[in-house]
């Protein structure tokens, strides 16, 4: 086990991005602007953007079919995009805009009259509505995550290209059992395709395993996807009877659902901000270095993604990593530099147990409390409890690394600390976690 804190000059190091892209240290000089570490995202945005631009040019050149209908749906999509929300997991969604886009792609008749707009026009109307809805956000500095906008347009492209030609071949000119089943089937397939694309983008962004990302996205998007898809089909069918009034009538229930999702997301966001504020108490009190909890949290997140932890486990780990040092508030005098890795095993255990007791007082974070309680245990564990939870082992490695490197450790210092951690993998640190830490550091 380490008994000595390494000293030496500190200089600029790499950026380590956590769940929200926060930096752990200074940035390296960037390469050419055309290079990107996220090629799938770049290809998706370029392909959707190019297709949308081509659809707009083509539709403008040939003229809009039923322009008043197109304008009505365009405005609904724009309003829905303006009211977009951020869901847990930092996912952007625009339920009303997405439902409007789906319904316009599926729309066969309006009242008693048939509609003959092409797939190109559907893409053009959706792209224009999305762009108009995003302009106010951009004007006030709340630009969207471009890949999420591209995904919303991508779903409309899939449905329009699949449904409009197929409806013509089958002779579908109004509501029928065949048309309804086809709409429902295509809406489900489009949702699955969107979830898979979102999973690929998430795996690319977080550097996690694709299988884990797929499960996370399917679980996270199921309720919202079902609400959006069913609303889009209902709006398309209702408009065949009621005209454009159906667009407003069946958008209202989705608006209520969106408000519920927004409230849930705000509660989760407030909860996390409260935890982050609580983690700052040890820094304000001088018990740990400024930014230590945030850096340990970001390192732990990167390691956990490398090891393939699910989204729910990542959230619990983030809570535990942020509050892993809260037990230091019980100390009469702070540890030098706040480095618990330099404290005696007995003192480390006492800090961890007191921190766990504080967290258990919330009544809802028992798993987080258990991770904090066992973070100082050796690899084999203490007593009869066995090996500590993986989250505890991750925090132990991330905490030791940051304690010994600090905020701006240079590459030589980081390499030396990493080697010291490897030397203790037979007793103190999980070798898989240390290898994952090395992989995280090597990317930056």
Q: Calculate mean pLDDT across residues 28-41.
A: 57
275 vs 437, more confident: 437
What CATH number does residue 326 fall under?
1.10.3210.10
Residue 11 lies in a domain: no
Domain that holds residue 404: 280-442
Q: How confident is the model at residue 24 (pLDDT cuts 50, 70, 90)?
A: very low
**Rounded Cα–Cα distance for residues 420 and 323 (Å):** 25
Residues 238 and 348 in one domain: no
Structure token pair of residue 372: 């904090």
Residues 250 and 284 in one domain: no
From 155-159, 242-246, 423-427, the region with the lowest mean pLDDT? 242-246
Q: What is the pLDDT of residues 278-289, one digit of tens each?
A: 888 888 877 788
Q: What is the pLDDT of residues 339-386, one digit of tens each?
A: 777 778 888 888 888 889 888 887 778 889 999 999 988 888 887 788
Q: Which of 228, 259, 234 is nearest to 77 (CA)?
A: 228
Residue 61 lies in a domain: yes
Q: Which of 264, 291, 317 is the last residue of a domain?
A: 264
Residues 137 and 215 in one domain: yes
Residues 70 and 169 in one domain: yes
Cα 206–chain centre separation: 9
Residue 30 lies in a domain: no
Residue 135 lies in a domain: yes
Q: What is the pLDDT, as a whole number, of residue 112?
A: 66
Residues 300 and 231 in one domain: no
pLDDT over 90, % of the chain:
44
**Rounded Cα–Cα distance for residues 341 and 378 (Å):** 12
Read off φ and ψ for residue 320, nearest 5 degrees: -65, -40
Residues 308 and 377 in one domain: yes
Structure token pair of residue 263: 């409230």
Residue 411 lies in a domain: yes
Q: What is the pLDDT, as a whole number, of residue 270?
A: 85
Residue 430 lies in a domain: yes
Q: Are 91 and 226 in contact (CB under 8 A)?
A: no
Q: Are 299 and 402 in contact (CB under 8 A)?
A: yes
Residues 137 and 247 in one domain: yes
Q: How many independent structural domains does the chain possess?
A: 2
Q: Which of 216, 234, 264 is the last residue of a domain?
A: 264
Q: Which of 235, 264, 293 is the last residue of a domain?
A: 264
Read off φ and ψ for residue 382, nearest 5 degrees: -110, 130
Residues 253 and 299 in one domain: no
**Rounded Cα–Cα distance for residues 205 and 184 (Å):** 31
Give Cβ neighbours of residue 348 (< 8 Å, ≥ 6 apart): 340, 376
Residues, the chain? 444
Cα 154–chain centre separation: 19
Residues 233 and 342 in one domain: no
Residue 28 lies in a domain: no
C-alpha dihedral sign at 166, 170, 176, 182: negative
Q: How confident is the model at residue 336 (pLDDT cuts 50, 70, 90)?
A: low
Q: What is the pLDDT of residues 391-414, one digit of tens each?
A: 999 999 999 999 888 877 778 889
Q: Are 418 and 401 in contact (CB under 8 A)?
A: yes
Residue 410 lies in a domain: yes
Residues 284 and 259 in one domain: no
Q: What is the pLDDT, as a whole number, of residue 273?
A: 85
Residues 68 and 193 in one domain: yes
Residues 228 and 368 in one domain: no
Q: What is the pLDDT of residues 297-310, one digit of tens each?
A: 999 999 999 999 99
Q: Encode the chain in three state secondary structure.
A: CCCCCCCCCECCCCCCCCCCCCCCCCCCCCCCCCCCCCHHHHHHHHHHHHHHHHHHHHHHHHCCCCHHHHHHHHHHHHHHHHCCEEECCCEEECHHHHHHHHHHHHCCEECCEECCCCHHHHHHHHHHHHHHHHHHHHHCCCCCCHHHHHHHHHHHHHHHHHHHHHHHHHCCCCCCHHHHHHHHHHHHHHHHHHHHHHHHHHHHHHCCCHHHHHHHHHHHHHHHHHHHHHHHHHHHHHHHHHCCHHHHHCHHHHHHHHHHHHHHHHHHHHHHHHHHHHHCHHHHCCCCCCCHHHHHHHHHHHHHHHHCCCHHHHHHHHHHHHCCCHHHHHCCCCCHHHCHHHCCHHHHHHHHHHHHHHHHCCCCCHHHHHHHHCCCCCCCCCCCCCCCCHHHHHHHHHHHHHHHHCCCECHHHHHHHHHHHHHCCCCCCCHHHHHHHHHHHHCC
Q: Is the pLDDT of residue 436 over 80?
A: yes
């Amino acid at each position: 086990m380490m008994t000595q804190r390494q000293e030496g000059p500190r200089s600029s190091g790499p950026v380590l991005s956590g769940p929200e892209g926060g930096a752990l240290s200074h940035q390296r000089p960037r390469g050419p602007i055309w290079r990107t570490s996220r090629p799938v995202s770049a290809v998706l945005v370029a392909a959707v953007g190019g297709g949308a631009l081509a659809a707009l040019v083509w539709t403008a050149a040939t003229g809009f079919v039923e322009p008043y209908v197109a304008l009505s749906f365009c405005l609904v999509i724009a309003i829905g995009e303006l009211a977009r929300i951020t869901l847990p997991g930092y996912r952007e969604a625009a339920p009303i805009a997405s439902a409007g886009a789906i319904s316009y792609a599926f729309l066969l008749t309006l009242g008693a009259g048939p509609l003959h707009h092409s797939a190109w026009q559907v893409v053009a109307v959706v792209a224009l509505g999305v762009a108009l809805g995003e302009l106010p956000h951009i004007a006030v500095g709340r630009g969207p995550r471009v890949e999420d906008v591209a995904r919303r347009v991508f779903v409309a492209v899939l449905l329009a290209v699949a449904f409009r030609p197929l409806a013509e071949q089958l002779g579908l000119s109004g509501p029928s059992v065949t048309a309804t089943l086809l709409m429902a089937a295509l809406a489900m397939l489009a949702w699955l395709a969107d979830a898979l694309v979102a999973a690929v983008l998430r795996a690319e962004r977080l550097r996690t395993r694709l299988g884990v990302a797929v499960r996370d996205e399917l679980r996270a998007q199921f309720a919202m996807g079902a609400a959006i898809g069913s609303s889009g089909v209902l709006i398309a069918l209702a408009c065949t009877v009621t005209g454009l009034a159906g667009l407003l009538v069946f958008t209202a229930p989705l608006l209520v659902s969106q408000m519920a999702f927004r409230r849930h997301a705000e509660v989760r966001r407030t909860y996390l901000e409260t935890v982050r504020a609580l983690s700052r108490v040890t820094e304000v009190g001088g018990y740990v270095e400024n930014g230590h909890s945030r850096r340990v949290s970001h390192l732990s997140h990167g390691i956990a993604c490398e090891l393939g932890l699910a989204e729910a486990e990542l959230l619990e780990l983030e809570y535990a990593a942020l509050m892993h040092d809260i037990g230091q508030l019980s100390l009469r005098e702070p540890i030098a530099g706040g480095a618990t890795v330099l404290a005696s095993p007995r003192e480390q255990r006492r800090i961890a147990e007191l921190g766990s007791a504080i967290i258990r007082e919330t009544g809802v974070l028992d798993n987080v409390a258990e991770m904090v309680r066992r973070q100082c245990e050796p690899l084999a564990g203490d007593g009869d409890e066995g090996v500590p939870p993986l989250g505890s082992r991750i925090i132990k490695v991330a905490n030791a690394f940051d304690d010994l490197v600090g905020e701006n450790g240079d590459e030589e210092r980081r390499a030396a600390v990493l080697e010291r951690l490897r030397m203790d993998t037979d007793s103190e640190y999980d070798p898989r976690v240390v290898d994952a830490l090395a992989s995280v550091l090597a990317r930056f």
